[in-house]
């Protein structure tokens, strides 16, 4: 029997600016950070160029025309070997559509894209305490405990 809430997952390209804008709105709502994702949104030319580049990947989960989930990832071209890695920067599913397999389907689509691009690995971070994300990523891959640091783009402040 078909799923009562079917969804479609598809990679976004340069012509999918409107869908990318909807995805930015979803990220802002799900992460409770609307100012970051919607406050200074890039223009359509920027988003089209980003979506058409080989260094960025976006995948949307749609129910009809509504974006109910999505993933944004960056391709990191390595220097030590002729290979690339993919970093999942954001992955979100709207609260009303969780537990429907959307996040797993988004990652499966990214995995297929990674194979097509010859990527070596896909990696993602999860915050301590974000048990649903930790459970999903543990189910799909190997866990590594690492530390993350944010460095300022300018000189380090003295005394820190």
| Residue 96 scores a pLDDT above 60 | yes
| Residue 134 scores a pLDDT above 80 | no
| Residues in CB range of 29: below 8 A, 6 or more apart | 94
Q: In the structure, what pLDDT confidence band is assigned to residue 1 with cuts at 50, 70 and 90?
A: very low
Contact 111, 86 (CB under 8 A): no
The stretch 51-60 carries a mean pLDDT of 97
- The pTM (predicted TM-score) of the whole model is 0.84
Q: Where are the beta strands (DSSP E) in the chain?
A: 8-11, 56-63, 66-77, 84-93, 121-124
| Residue 10 scores a pLDDT above 50 | yes
Whole-number percent of the chain with pLDDT over 70: 79
Tell me yes or no: is domain 8-140 CATH 3.90.550.10: no
């Amino acid at each position: 029997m078909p799923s009562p809430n079917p969804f479609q997952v598809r990679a976004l390209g340069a012509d999918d600016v409107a869908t990318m804008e909807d995805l930015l709105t979803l990220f802002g709502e799900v992460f409770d950070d609307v100012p970051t994702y919607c406050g200074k949104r890039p223009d359509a030319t920027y988003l089209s160029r980003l979506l058409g580049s080989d260094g960025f990947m976006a995948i949307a989960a749609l129910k009809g025309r509504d974006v109910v989930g999505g993933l944004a990832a960056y391709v990191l071209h390595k220097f030590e070997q002729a290979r690339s890695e993919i970093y999942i920067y954001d992955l979100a599913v709207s609260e009303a559509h969780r537990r429907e397999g959307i996040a797993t389907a988004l990652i499966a689509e990214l995995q297929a894209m990674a194979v097509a691009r010859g990527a070596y690995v896909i990696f993602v971070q999860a915050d301590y305490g974000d048990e649903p994300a930790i459970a999903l990523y543990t189910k799909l891959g190997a866990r590594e405990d690492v530390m993350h640091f944010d460095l300022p783009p300018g000189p380090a402040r003295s005394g820190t």
